[in-house]
Amino acid sequence: MSTCTTASAELGEPVGATAATARTWLLIEQPGPWGAKALTGSRLDPAVGRALDRAADGTGVRIALIRRPGRHADSHTPARHRVHIGHTAPGRGWVRSDTVADPAELVELDFAALGAGSHDGFGAAHAGPPLALVCTNGRRDRCCAVRGRPLAAELAASGGADTWEVTHLGGHRFSPTMLVLPYGYVYGRVDGRVAKDALEAARSGRIVLDGCRGRSTWDRPGQAADLAVRALAGEDLEDALTVRRTVAEPDGSGWSVLVAHTDGRAWDVTVARTAAQPPRPESCDGPLGTPALLEATGITAVTGRS
């Protein structure tokens, strides 16, 4: 039986500009099995999950559950839950870590401030290697478990990153998918080599374009523009580029995106939107669809920044 990942790969669907949008990630350790909607379908108290979801709504904070790679279908409940919060804006990114006895404590966080980039003294600065978050939630889509769990296990065994399984990064058909913090770049269709290259680059504040879906800080047009300028300029420093402005075309066909470099250069990037053809499953149990494809169709250098 063909899977959504097989169909997407065979049709040559590009992975660029498909990352979930989140300025800040709140990652909560919750071992055990996860349901399709993990915040209310795991061993986390569903009332707490709903309260967290309400608190984060509209703030730019995306919440996910995490667990260490390995066996997880058990009744283990940790005495304390590891929590990572990562803000992804270029030049202003950070990861803060702590443990809590009860995830209900997190409902009291200032989510608007977190989304804007203020951690308000939460926990302590993450001093370890980059965080590697690999989607493995088979209840969301079986491809995430079949392809994601072996990658998470390989990365954990290699010791080059602080590796976690995560509930959902979007884009099942690009499994295995991986989020790298502190920078917020998401990767798809990654094997062990690509994943390790991305994590090694992150140690020195750099990114790799191979398999890169985009930076979660930006909306999808911004992701397309950021990746296109990086490819054109050969720029791999994570904080070198900022999406300054995104303007939608009146006819809905695309966007004009201004991307600025820290050295003063800037580019106006035209991003077009088309529907993927022929129809393909966007998840293994879902109907055929024509997901939006975003592609940079023109890049023009401009003077200065706006």
Q: What is the pLDDT of residues 34-50, one digit of tens each?
A: 999 999 999 999 999 99
In the predicted model, is pLDDT for residue 293 greater than 70?
yes
Q: What mean pLDDT is reported for the chain?
A: 93
**CB neighbours of 245 closer than 8 A, spacing ≥ 6?**
257, 258, 306
Average pLDDT in the 123-129 region? 94
Cα 198 to chain center, whole Å?
Answer: 13
User: Which position has the token pair 């939107």?
Assistant: 273
What are the pLDDT digits (tens) for 161-203?
899 999 999 888 999 999 999 999 999 999 999 999 999 999 9
Task: Please give the share of the chain, as a percent, with pLDDT higher than 70.
Answer: 97
Q: How many residues does the chain have?
A: 306
pTM given for the model: 0.94
Q: What is the CA radius of gyration of the chain?
A: 19
Helix (H, G, I), strand (E, B) or coil at 168: coil
Q: For residues 67-95, give the mean pLDDT.
A: 86
Q: How many CA atoms lie within 13 A of 261 on its CB side?
A: 19
Question: What is the spatial distance between Cα 49 and Cα 160, in angstroms, rounded to a whole number?
Answer: 31
Q: In the predicted model, is pLDDT for residue 306 greater than 50?
A: no
Give yes or no for residue 70 having a pLDDT over 90. no
Is residue 139 predicted with pLDDT exceeding 90? no
pLDDT of residue 78: 74
> What percentage of the chain reaches a pLDDT higher than 90?
84
Where in the chain does DSSP place strands (E)? 24-29, 61-67, 81-87, 94-100, 124-125, 131-135, 162-166, 178-181, 185-187, 212-215, 241-248, 254-261, 266-275, 280-281, 288-289, 292-302
Q: Which residue has the tokens 């706006």?
A: 306
Burial 219-252 (b: 16+ CB within 10 A, else e): bbbbbbbbbbbbeebebeebebbbbeebeeeeee
Q: What is the mean pLDDT of residues 104-112?
A: 98
The amino acid that residue 61 corresponds to is V
Nearest to 62 by CA among 82, 40, 90, 88: 88
